[in-house]
């Protein structure tokens, strides 16, 4: 077998082996569209022996199509030569059903072919994806609503209760009542902190990009130290800040929460009377801030997990919600930076944060 025959043979093979179904038609002068043949895939897809229908009109051969605009579309293709594509043909006949994608094209004047594949699975997957996207948006809206409720409707009364307990505590003389008021004050303080942390965490949506610009982080770290100082003084913990000059990085003011959380953790997990030292250095990759404490330390096995939401390990009796380091990690990630914990050689831990100095 040579030349033309070989080519013809391979086209025939292609025609019969292709997984796409092919139906062929001829348009008669009376407007009837006559079915002239099909390939093997068409038999397989539709579960029929298509040769039975040769010579019949499209409407007789495939009754479900008579209900649609497909016969007219095909007639136009056969007469004008303009191809037609659709992926919307829902077909149900002789126990076969599905959604089909069809390419219809003229093969010679008055003749046309329709190539089709069953895309039911793809359509179902697309529908599921669309449904999922809608559900996701709804659940995001609910999350936003819940965050708003937390910030506006829960935080205010919690703050009021805390302030009232504080005022009553200052005026009360009876030690028993003072103890009760202290418990109320502490519980409210924790509640306010938790509401603030949870709504901050929720607002740091992973999808939303944090806007960054070059800024001096030295005053930000000093501000965090000022806020944590009263807490440190209660435990006679010394905050040793070695920041003499400006240190620039590409950051967003939300970075404050990183320094605040690392400093307040250092105080929380340190023994009374100890010292916490903060060192800031300019390194090649950016700004490196280290927070060293001599507290309870973090086991190697927990060094990564503690940065996950709600993970609390050895707490040394300290209260908390396990959100602080998750906030730290999310903010640092949003800056393209890195945060990790190392052992402090003298006991305790050193939390290190690297914030890039260029974008």
Q: Which residues bind ligand ADP (CB under 6 A)?
A: 261, 265-266, 269, 293, 295-298, 306, 311-315, 320-326, 349
Question: Cβ of residue 160: shortest distance to ligand ADP, in angstroms?
Answer: 24
Question: Cβ of residue 306: shortest distance to ligand ADP, in angstroms?
Answer: 4
Question: Cβ of residue 91: shortest distance to ligand ADP, in angstroms?
Answer: 57
Nearer to ligand ADP, 295 or 334 (CB): 295
- Three-state SS for 304-330 is CHHHCCCCCCCCCCCCCCCCHHHHHHH
Taking the C-alpha atoms of residue 24 and residue 53, their distance in angstroms, rounded to an integer, is: 11
Helices (H), the chain: 3-17, 40-46, 58-61, 63-66, 70-80, 120-148, 155-171, 175-203, 218-234, 256-268, 324-334
3-state secondary structure of 352: strand
Q: What is the largest CA-CA distance in the chain?
A: 113
Nearer to ligand ADP, 195 or 321 (CB): 321
Question: Cβ of residue 284: shortest distance to ligand ADP, in angstroms?
Answer: 27
3-state secondary structure of 107: strand
Nearer to ligand ADP, 33 or 296 (CB): 296
Q: Which residue is nearest to ligand ADP (CB)?
A: 320
Give DSSP secondary structure letters for 21-57: EEEEEEE-TTS-EEEEEE-HHHHHHHTS-GGGGTTSB
Distance of CA 152 to the CA centre of its chain: 26
Question: Cβ of residue 147: shortest distance to ligand ADP, in angstroms?
Answer: 19
Question: Cβ of residue 324: shortest distance to ligand ADP, in angstroms?
Answer: 3
């Amino acid at each position: 077998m040579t030349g033309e025959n070989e080519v013809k043979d391979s086209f025939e093979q292609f025609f019969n082996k292709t997984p796409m179904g092919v139906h062929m038609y001829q348009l008669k002068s009376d407007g009837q569209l006559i079915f002239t043949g099909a390939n093997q895939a068409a038999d397989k897809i539709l579960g029929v022996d298509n040769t039975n229908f040769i010579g019949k009109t499209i409407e007789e051969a495939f009754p479900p199509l008579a209900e649609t605009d497909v016969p007219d579309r095909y007639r136009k293709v056969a007469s004008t030569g303009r191809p037609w594509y659709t992926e919307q043909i829902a077909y149900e006949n002789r126990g076969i059903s599905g959604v089909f994608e069809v390419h219809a094209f003229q093969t010679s004047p008055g003749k046309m072919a329709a190539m089709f594949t069953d895309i039911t699975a793809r359509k179902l997957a697309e529908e599921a994806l669309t449904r999922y996207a809608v559900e996701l948006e709804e659940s995001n809206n609910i999350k936003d609503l819940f965050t708003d409720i937390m910030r506006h409707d829960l935080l205010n009364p919690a703050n009021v209760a805390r302030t009232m307990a504080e005022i009553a505590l200052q005026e009360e003389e009876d030690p028993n009542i003072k103890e009760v008021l202290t418990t109320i004050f502490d519980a409210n303080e924790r509640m306010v902190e938790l509401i603030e942390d949870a709504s901050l965490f929720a607002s740091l949506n992973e999808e939303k990009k944090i806007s960054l610009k070059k800024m001096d982080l030295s005053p930000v770290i000093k501000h965090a130290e000022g806020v944590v100082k009263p807490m440190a003084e209660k435990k006679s913990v010394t905050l040793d800040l070695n920041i003499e000059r400006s240190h620039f990085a590409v950051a967003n003011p939300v970075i404050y929460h990183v320094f605040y959380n690392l400093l307040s953790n250092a105080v929380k997990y340190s023994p009374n009377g100890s010292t916490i030292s903060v060192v800031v250095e300019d390194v090649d990759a950016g700004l490196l801030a280290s927070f060293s404490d001599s507290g309870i330390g973090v086991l190697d096995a927990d060094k990564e997990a503690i940065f996950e939401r709600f993970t609390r390990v050895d707490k040394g009796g300290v209260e908390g919600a396990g959100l602080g380091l998750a906030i730290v990690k999310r903010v640092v990630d949003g800056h393209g930076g890195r945060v990790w914990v190392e052992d402090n050689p003298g006991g305790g831990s050193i939390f290190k944060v690297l914030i890039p100095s260029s974008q």
